[in-house]
A = this chain, B = another copy of it.
Amino acid sequence: MNTKISKTTSDNLKKEIANLPTDLILIIIDHNISSLYSKVLNLQEIDGKKVIVWKAPDGEKVKNIKEYESCVEYFLDKGIHRKTHLIAFGGGATSDFAGFVAATLLRGIKWSVIPTTLLAMVDASIGGKVAINSKEVKNLIGAFHKPEHIWMNYKFLETLPPDEMKSGKGEILKYALLEKTIHDLVQSDSPMEEIINACGTFKLNLTEEDFQETGKRKILNLGHTFGHALEKIYNLSHGVAVLWGMAVMDIIYNNSKNLKTIKELKSKLNIEEEKSPWIKRDFPMDKIIELVKKDKKMVSNFDLEVIIVHEIGKPEIKTVDLETLAKDVSKVQDELKNLSL
């Protein structure tokens, strides 16, 4: 079955859940979201259903094996069955984690998402990539497990911290490079809801077409090869790290042709220009290689896949060996040293 994305309101959420064909609902809710919305929405009381709630530590902190064990043992101890439906209520970390729980409880139960951050609305909640982190690297333990429903309620964005808005905008900018219509929506100052909807639909279609990422879906990794490493090295938010990752790849393999567009799009999305985290210093290629080797983009002991956008809407999946990549980076060190966006 394919995922259904639908717009909803705070009032309607309870009805949507009541309509699910099960008598048992599990909810994994982000701790912050629980403080802000639990009382108002009162999802723990749904007519005709037993509801079991597990509160997740805020954000990325939940994505490890210890919390995974604690969560699954909690649900299993309460007694669950095959037709149980799990709901992820929070940002991308919550849905990554909850989706992995749903993928592995009783070998897979159905699940749905109520995304509460911009990043989750345009990216993390869509496409069924679910995961927790290993000790050193993000998302190395996971599965592909599609949610049934994604219920979009833009209201949640009103309480979202500015840094998290910015992170979501980083991923929107990625879509704007991958797809001309999204680029044009951003350039023409379209309403945020319309942009979010276009990003979600674009990702949903692509991931339905290539669910297990054997081909075309890989273009969504634009900016992520270096992005994941930069996120770790400089403690950046995910979307911001992806943004730098895209820019660096453009400098190395596209003669910096898209930098101007990236700056324009950033400005349209109200992200201020800023200096790169490594400004005036060497781009940290050694550290990056160390981390990339342990990431998921490697396709042999030596080769990895990177995404390059030659012009808006025309991405290429390129296989490159690590040694060549390091050489290619060294050729553009000067430009990298002075990068601002």
Residues of A within 8 A of B (CB): 22-24, 50, 65, 68-69, 72-73, 76-77, 79-83, 100, 103-108, 129, 131, 134-137, 139-144, 212, 293-294, 296-301
User: What residues of chain B lie closer than 8 Å to A212, measured between beta carbons?
Assistant: 108
Known: A23-B300, A76-B134, A81-B296. 13 other contacts (CB 8 A): A50-B301, A65-B68, A76-B135, A76-B136, A79-B301, A81-B301, A82-B296, A82-B298, A107-B131, A107-B139, A107-B144, A108-B143, A108-B212
Q: Are B106's CB and A104's CB within 8 A?
A: no
> CA–CA, A301 to B105, complex, Å?
16
Q: Are A129's CB and B107's CB within 8 A?
A: yes
Q: Are B140's CB and A143's CB within 8 A?
A: no
Q: Are B299's CB and A82's CB within 8 A?
A: yes
Q: Are A134's CB and B72's CB within 8 A?
A: yes
Q: Are A104's CB and B299's CB within 8 A?
A: no
Contact for A142 among B104, B131, B139, B144, CB less than 8 A: B104
> CA–CA, A107 to B297, complex, Å?
12
Q: Are B140's CB and A106's CB within 8 A?
A: yes
Q: Are B81's CB and A298's CB within 8 A?
A: yes
Q: Which 7 A-B pairs have the closest CB atoms?
A: A81-B298, A107-B142, A65-B69, A76-B134, A106-B296, A79-B293, A23-B301
Contact for A144 among B80, B108, B129, B141, CB less than 8 A: B108
> CA–CA, A291 to B123, complex, Å?
40
Closest B residue, CB atoms, query A24: B301
Q: Are B298's CB and A140's CB within 8 A?
A: no
Q: Are B79's CB and A294's CB within 8 A?
A: yes
Some 17 contacts from A to B, beta carbons below 8 A apart, are A24-B300, A24-B301, A65-B65, A65-B69, A76-B294, A80-B298, A81-B299, A81-B300, A82-B299, A83-B300, A104-B142, A105-B140, A105-B141, A106-B140, A107-B139, A107-B296, A143-B143
> CA–CA, A124 to B87, complex, Å?
31
Output the least CB separation between A214 and chain B (Å): 10
User: What residues of chain B lie closer than 8 Å to A129, measured between beta carbons?
Assistant: 107
Closest B residue, CB atoms, query A301: B23
Closest B residue, CB atoms, query A212: B108
> CA–CA, A68 to B212, complex, Å?
23
Q: Are A143's CB and B104's CB within 8 A?
A: yes
Given A79-B294, A108-B212, A293-B79 in contact, is the A72-B141 Cβ separation under 8 Å? yes
User: What residues of chain B lie closer than 8 Å to A103, measured between beta carbons?
Assistant: 143
Output the least CB separation between A108 and chain B (Å): 6
User: What residues of chain B lie closer than 8 Å to A134, measured between beta carbons?
Assistant: 72-73, 76
> CA–CA, A24 to B80, complex, Å?
38
> CA–CA, A142 to B103, complex, Å?
8
> CA–CA, A143 to B134, complex, Å?
19
